[in-house]
Homo-oligomer: A and B are copies of this chain.
Amino acid sequence: LVRAEGIISSVSDVTVLFSTTHLLDFLEEPIPGVGTYDDFHTIDWVREKCKDRERHRKINAKKKESAWEFTKSLYDAWSGWLVVTLTGLASGALAGLIDISADWLNDIKEGVCLNAMWFNHEQCCWGSNETTFAERDKCPQWKSWAGLILGQEEGPGSYIMNYFMYIYWALSFALLAVLLVKVFAPYACGSGIPEIKTILSGFIIRGYLGKWTLLIKTVTLVLAVASGLSLGKEGPLVHVACCCGNIFSYLFPKYSKNEAKKREVLSAASAAGVSVAFGAPIGGVLFSLEEVSYYFPLKTLWRSFFAALVAAFVLRSINPFGNSRLVLFYVEYHTPWYLFELIPFILLGVFGGLWGAFFIKANIAWCRRRKSTRFGKYPVLEVIFVAAITAVVAFPNPYTRQNTSELIKELFTDCGPLESSQLCQYRSQMNGSKAFVDASPNKPAGPGVYTAMWQLCLALVFKIIMTIFTFGLKVPAGLFIPSMAIGAIAGRIVGIAVEQLAYYHHDWLVFREWCEVGTDCITPGLYAMVGAAACLGGVTRMTVSLVVIVFELTGGLEYIVPLMAAVMTSKWVGDAFGREGIYESHIRLNGYPFLDAKSEFTHTTLAREVMRPQRSDPPLAVLTQDNLTVEELQGIINETSYNGFPVIVSKESQRLVGFALRRDITIAIGEEKLRRQVVGENAQRKQGDILLTSRVYFTQHAPTLPADSPRPLKLRSILDMSPFTVTDHTPMEIVVDIFRKLGLRQCLVTHNG
C-alpha cells in the first residue's frame, strides 16, 4: 500500500528548491544563512508573508515598551508610503530629464542653436520674431549643419551635408549606447518589461534593478532614442522606475529584507513608470494590475495610485514639452463619431491584430536566430548596422526623419487653422505657402495631402520592417511608440481615405444623413489614435489598461467605444494567431520561469502522473526521522541532486513527517562541525571526526542510544513541519491553482498519507 512520495517539480518550471521553513521554532536561535535565496531562484511567497507577519508582530509587541520603539514602529508603518513617494518623485524627475535631453540630442542630428548650444530646435526658435507657425521652423538662430559648415542652407550640397551629418550623429549615438550597455550594464538593454514581469512573479535576478543598470539605462536610453532607431522610451521608463523603487526599498528594512514586500514596491514603481510614460496615472495603475503584477493586494493598488500621481505631478511641474501636458501627444477632439465609423475602426482593429501577430512571430524568430547562430556574437556590429540602415533610409522621408513621438503627435492632431503640416494642405486654399484651414468643414485633399499619403505609406513599410529587427537589439528599446506610430500612420491613411470618400460621395446612403457638404463629420486624427491603440493592443494584448491610457490621452469618454471596439478586435484577431503577447513570448524565449496567472490551464492529468519520481524512476530519497547518522545523511546528500528531502517516520511505515532542505541540512551540519571544533570534542577522543558517526534526529526528543555513542545532532529546527501536500488523485488544474495562488515552491504528493 505504501508508495513513495514525490516532489512535483512545479508545472511552471520553477526549479524545486527551497521549502517553507516558517516553523523554525524560535526556542533555538535560527541558524544564520537559512532563509536566503540564491540568484536566479524563485522566492516562496508563503514563507515571505509569514516572515513579514512575524516581524510585524514583534514590532507591535515592542511598541509599548518605549518612545523610541514607538517611533520605530511608526517609521515602519509609514515606510511603505515613504518609499512609494520617493519612487514617484525619482521616476518623475528622471522621466523629465530623459524627455528633455532626448529632444535636445535628437535635434543635434539636424543642426545646432548658435546662441545657446543646449537649446533644442523649438526652444532655440522661441526667442525669434518669426512667430507665424509656417515660419517657425526656420529661425536665424538655428543653423543646420550644412548652414554651419558650408554656409548655405539650400541646394543639393547642403542637403548631402545634412544627410551625412544626420547619419554620422545617428551612428555615433548608437555606437556609444551599445558600448555603454555592453561594458557597464548588460542588463540595461531591451525594454525590461518581460524581466520585470518575471521578477514580480517571484524570480530573483540580482543587479537587474541595481543602480548601475539605472544609471546606464537612463543615459543609453537617451542616446538610443536620439540615434533615430525605431524604438521608444516608454517601455524602458517602466524599467527605470522599477530600478528607483528597488534602490529606495533598500532604505527600509521592511522591504529590503523581504522579497515579497519588495515586489509590492516594484508594482507601484511600474505604475509610476507608465504614468510618466503616457501621462496616465490611472492607466498606469491598471497596467501594473493587468499586465505586470503577479501578487497585487489592495494596499498595493492604493500605493501604486499614489506613486503614479506623484510621478505625474513631478513630470508636469518639470513640463518637458512646454505644453503643460505630461505627454507630447495630448489631443482633444471636438466632433463626435458616428455609428457607421465603427466599420473602419474595426478594420483598424483587424489590422492591429494582424500586425501584432506578425510582429511577434517575426521578432521572436529573429531573436531565436540571433541566439542560435554565431551572428549573435557581434551585438555592437549589429546595432551599428541597423542604425546605419535606419538613418540612411529615414532621412529622405520627413515622416521617418522626425522624432517618432512628434510624428505620432502630428498624426493624432486634427487639422486646425493653425496646422502648418503637409497633412492639412486641403485644396480650398492653396494660396501662398501658408496652408491655413479652418477646422470645421471637410475639404477635398490638395497635392500636399497626396504626397503626404505616399510618404506615409513608405514610412509605414519602413517602420514595420525596422521595428522587427530593432526590438531585441542590445540597446534600451521600447515597443510602445513604434507600434503606436505604425498604427497611427495606418489609421491616418484610412481616416483621410474615409474623409475624401465622404466628401466626394456624400450622397451615398451611409453618409447622407450625417455628413453633408461643408460639415466636419470625419476626424482623421481620431482614426490615427484608434489605429495606434489597435496596434499597441495587438502587440501587447493589453485591454483595459490600454483603453484607459488612451482615454487619459484624449480626455473624453466619447471616444472610448471606438477604442474598445478596435482594441478588442485586435486582441481577438491576435489571439487567433497565438495567445501570447510579445512580453510572454520573450519570457518564454529567454526561458524565465513564469507561471502566467492569466493563461487557462487545461490539464486532465492527475498529480500522480506528473509527480517525480515516476514509477520507472529510482525511488525518491527520503530521510527517516530518527535513525540516520550524519555520515548516511551526507551520503544521501552527495548521491542525489534533489534540493529537499521528505522526512518520514521510518522505512517501515513511510508516513510523512516533514520536509528538510538540502541547503539547510548542509548549512546546519557545517555549523555543528564548527561548534564542536570550538568545544573541542574531537580533541578529547582519539579517532578522527566523531561527528560522522553521531546520530541525526528530527523528532522532538532524542532517540535512546547506546551509552558510548556520540552526542546526537538535533535538526528539528530546519525541519518544515507543514509541507504542502496533495493526494495523488488531485487533478493537475487544482495543483496549478495552488501553485499559482499561494506561490508555492514545491508540493508533496501523498498516497494515504
Contact = CB atoms under 8 A, between A and B. Distances in A.
Contacts of A600: 53, 56
A82 to B, nearest CB: 14
Interface of A: 1, 20, 22-23, 46, 49-50, 53, 56-57, 281-282, 285, 289-290, 297-298, 301-302, 305-306, 309, 312-313, 543-544, 547-548, 551, 555, 557, 560-561, 564, 597-598, 600, 602, 604, 607, 649, 655-658, 721-723, 725-727, 729-731, 733-734, 737-738, 741-742, 750, 752-753
Contacts of A551: 282
Contacts of A721: 727, 729-730
Contacts of A731: 22-23, 50, 722
Contact of A737 (B49, B285, B555, B752): B49
Given A305-B547, A753-B655, A727 B722 contact: yes
21 contacts: A22-B734, A49-B733, A49-B737, A53-B600, A56-B602, A57-B604, A281-B557, A281-B560, A285-B544, A302-B544, A305-B547, A305-B564, A306-B564, A309-B561, A555-B555, A649-B752, A655-B753, A656-B727, A656-B752, A657-B752, A725-B727
A135 B585 CA distance: 67
Given A298-B290, A298-B598, A738 B742 contact: yes
A589 to B, nearest CB: 23
Contacts of A53: 600, 602, 733
5 A-B pairs closest in CB distance? A753-B753, A721-B729, A722-B730, A741-B741, A655-B753
A6 to B, nearest CB: 15
A604 B557 CA distance: 49
A593 to B, nearest CB: 20
A737 B557 CA distance: 39
A447 B56 CA distance: 56
Contacts of A733: 49-50, 53
A34 B50 CA distance: 38
A738 B46 CA distance: 10
Contacts of A313: 561
A741 B285 CA distance: 22
Nearest to A290: B298
Contacts of A305: 544, 547, 564
A543 B302 contact: yes
A448 to B, nearest CB: 36
Contact of A57 (B602, B649, B729): B602
A21 to B, nearest CB: 12
Nearest to A547: B305
A50 B733 CA distance: 8
A492 to B, nearest CB: 26
A369 B128 CA distance: 77
Nearest to A657: B752
Nearest to A738: B742
A280 to B, nearest CB: 10
A307 to B, nearest CB: 12
B309 A301 contact: no
A289 B750 CA distance: 37
Nearest to A299: B598
B282 A290 contact: no
A50 B600 CA distance: 12
A290 B302 CA distance: 10
A597 B649 CA distance: 37
A723 B734 contact: no
Contacts of A738: 742
Given A309-B560, A737-B742, 20 more contacts: A1-B649, A46-B734, A49-B737, A50-B731, A50-B733, A56-B600, A57-B604, A281-B557, A282-B282, A298-B598, A306-B564, A309-B564, A656-B727, A656-B752, A721-B727, A721-B730, A722-B726, A722-B729, A722-B730, A725-B725
A737 B45 CA distance: 11
Contacts of A750: 753
A285 to B, nearest CB: 7
B547 A50 contact: no
Contacts of A741: 741-742
A446 B374 CA distance: 84
Contacts of A598: 297-298
Contact of A23 (B298, B557, B729): B729
A557 B750 CA distance: 56
Contacts of A658: 727, 729
A741 B597 CA distance: 13
A725 B656 CA distance: 12
A721 B750 CA distance: 12
Contacts of A298: 290, 597-598
Contacts of A306: 564
B312 A557 contact: yes
Nearest to A733: B53
A571 to B, nearest CB: 9
Contacts of A312: 557
A607 B737 CA distance: 22
A494 B658 CA distance: 63
A544 B301 contact: yes
A216 to B, nearest CB: 33
